Amino acid sequence: MIDVLKVFYPTHYNFAALAVLLALLLIYLLSKKNFKWGIITLVLLLALNIGIYKRTDGKAWTITLEPEKTSDPYYTPQAKKLTFSVHKNWTITDDKGEVHHWCWVEEYWQKFASLDLVAALWGENSSKKMVQSTEGRAEDLKE
């Protein structure tokens, strides 16, 4: 479990920051002899780490990188498939020096980022009106 968390936390430092804050809160609560909230904080800290471990260990994620378009008619670029797993290749550096990483955190972020909150809260028509109004403002600014 420690090996998985050693690899996970440097990549996803926001989860590491949350774990450190929970550990500091636990130390503070125990120094004030507040054992009830200390136990609750300890349970939250353990649940966070065990949840990360269960979601990450033994799983692999595969993504496809689309090739760049070229003007050369004789060269047909192929799409690259990259597979990420915590024990083998957590981050991959390509020929250009770009570092790629993908796991369950990015999958959740993609789902959340593609969610249309206006359509979910007020309906599809309000969402379309809001998009049209912001597009209209952007066109006015260009002129």
Q: State pTM to two decimals.
A: 0.67
The stretch 65-72 carries a mean pLDDT of 72
Rounded to an integer, what distance in angstroms lies between the CA atom of residue 130 and that of residue 46?
Answer: 43
| pLDDT given at position 101 | 82
pLDDT confidence of 138, banded at 50, 70, 90?
low
* Alpha helices for the chain (secondary structure H): 2-11, 13-31, 35-56, 104-113, 117-122, 124-142
Question: 110 pLDDT exceeds 70?
Answer: yes
- The residues pairing with 80 across neighbouring beta strands, listed in sequence order, are 65
| pLDDT given at position 126 | 65
Other C-beta atoms closer than 10 Å to the C-beta of 28 total 13
